[in-house]
Copies of this chain bind each other. A is one copy, B any other.
Amino acid sequence: MAKTTPLIVHPVTALDPRSTQALHVQVYERLRMAVLSGLLKGGARLPSTRALANELRVSRTPVLAAYEQLAAEGYVESRVGAGTRVVAEMPEHLLNAGPAGVTAHVRQARDEKRAIAARGNVMAREKFGPELRIGQRSWRTAFRVAVPALEEFPFEIWSRLVSRHLRRPRQEILDYHGAAGLERLRRAIAAHLSVSRGIRCSSDQILIVAGAQSGIDLSARVLLDPGDTALVENPGHLGIYGALRGAGVKIASVAIDREGFAISGRSNFGRNARVAFVTPSNQFPLAVTMSLPRRLALLDWAQSNGAWIVEDDYDSEFRFSGRPIEALRALDRGDRVLYIGSFSKVLYPGLRLGYMVVPADLVDAFAAARRFIDVHPPLLPQAALTDFIEEGHFGRHLRRMRMIYAERAQALSEAFDRHLSGALSIAQPQAGMHTVAWITGKLSDRSVSEAAAREGVEARPLSVYSLGRSKPGLVLGFGNVMPREITEGARKLARALDRIRHH
């Protein structure tokens, strides 16, 4: 099928029967606007006059007249056998004739009171940029955060599984579905969690969501009312701050030290908070693992305050060494923990799939909220993912990736020892795909980050993730960076630090 034109003609035509404009003028005006606004680009092919007339339910006469007018004015050109196309180079005088109506329209509208909701403005002001300011550089740039080793994903297998479901599609993937997601996938995840994370739950307690962020948003809306308070990690994940503030929730921040979330068991702190949002397996962004005493203190806090804990376990699958510590949800005797898992790091971010485990008595409320957000998650990727897990590809992929990330973590540690030992202090990563380098001396992390960017290295300032002041540091990802680029990145970073120090 030849790729000719983005112009689609639609059965419901927009020609206006009440208009005083003749039909051919209306057709002409619509096409002209499409060209001038850039919607129909230079070289784009217009539909045949017969097809367009058919669509617009008019005779060919007004369509032919419109095409002729457009050609006469220089917007389009027709060639025998090649149809009618938008001219490649638009003459200046036509460009200046631009869509003035549209512009005036917007200008007028801007001048009036155009209020949106306070919470809409709150979200618009929240930062979540670093995760999303992408595409300017290669995705393999050192040291981009939160991207897995995408070239290692078995796309041939994945493509085969997806195609299998599309070629003979069943009702299961086509029709509307319950909000919790495919039962088969929920069962596979429950089995996985039972054996691998010590989390006992029935598949009824699992909801498929659109990545970890979707579980965070859902929790904020179901568990918290406007004006309620939630505990968050500081520094922490900007997606959590934004979702909570957008939900009208007050944030009380808890510092992260060597043992993680610094809450003590029975103090008055956090008495009025209803939920704590934490990343205990591998804190984001500090890459600290929450200690067992802290875990028990946090569970105790939840139990004695009748509060909830949302455990965002976004990359717990990758631990390189040392004894793993059980998930909070697995230690939880009071059934106070909601667990969030993501497939963004173990498969790929563009997939937008994750899951939640919620206490049995909260399942209905979560499913109900999900329905009103977007009815249910897309079904085809869920069906393919179920096969991917059940046929053993998932387990194999995790094992491979753990080795790859361990190797990259080692490369990072060695390269920083060699090239940056005086300027940055880094702990060898034990898990996941990011770590923090502390800046020794008096430089601000923003200035180092900017200097690094000038050398072509992405080194996010830790202060971006902090509520209030923070020690200067850089958050560094190594998931999608090859060992050679890691070493090269460390050299460039050393050069950047050198320049800024001697400037």
Contact = CB atoms under 8 A, between A and B. Distances in A.
B109 A202 contact: no
Contacts of A146: 176
Interface-centre pick from A11, A18, A119, A132 (highest chain B CB count, 10 A): A11
B9 A196 contact: yes
Given A39-B194, A176-B349, A110 B361 contact: yes
Interface string A343-382: 0000011111100000111101100110111111111110
A403 to B, nearest CB: 9
A395 B8 contact: yes
Given A159-B167, A398-B10, A109 B350 contact: no
A138 B402 CA distance: 45
A419 interface: no
Given A6-B187, A17-B323, A375 B352 contact: yes
A120 B223 contact: yes
B8 A330 contact: no
Contacts of A375: 131-132, 210-211, 213, 239, 349, 352
Nearest to A190: B39
A13 B322 CA distance: 11
Interface-centre pick from A163, A195, A210, A391 (highest chain B CB count, 10 A): A195
Contacts of A131: 176, 375
Q: How many copies does the complex hold?
A: 2
Contacts of A55: 196, 395, 399
A432 to B, nearest CB: 11
A222 B221 CA distance: 14
A219 to B, nearest CB: 10
Interface string A47-90: 00000000100000000000000000000000000000000000
A445 interface: no
24 contacts: A1-B393, A3-B387, A3-B391, A7-B195, A10-B317, A14-B197, A15-B198, A30-B194, A33-B194, A37-B194, A39-B191, A39-B194, A106-B360, A117-B225, A123-B369, A132-B179, A153-B174, A159-B166, A173-B350, A226-B226, A239-B372, A243-B373, A353-B378, A378-B381
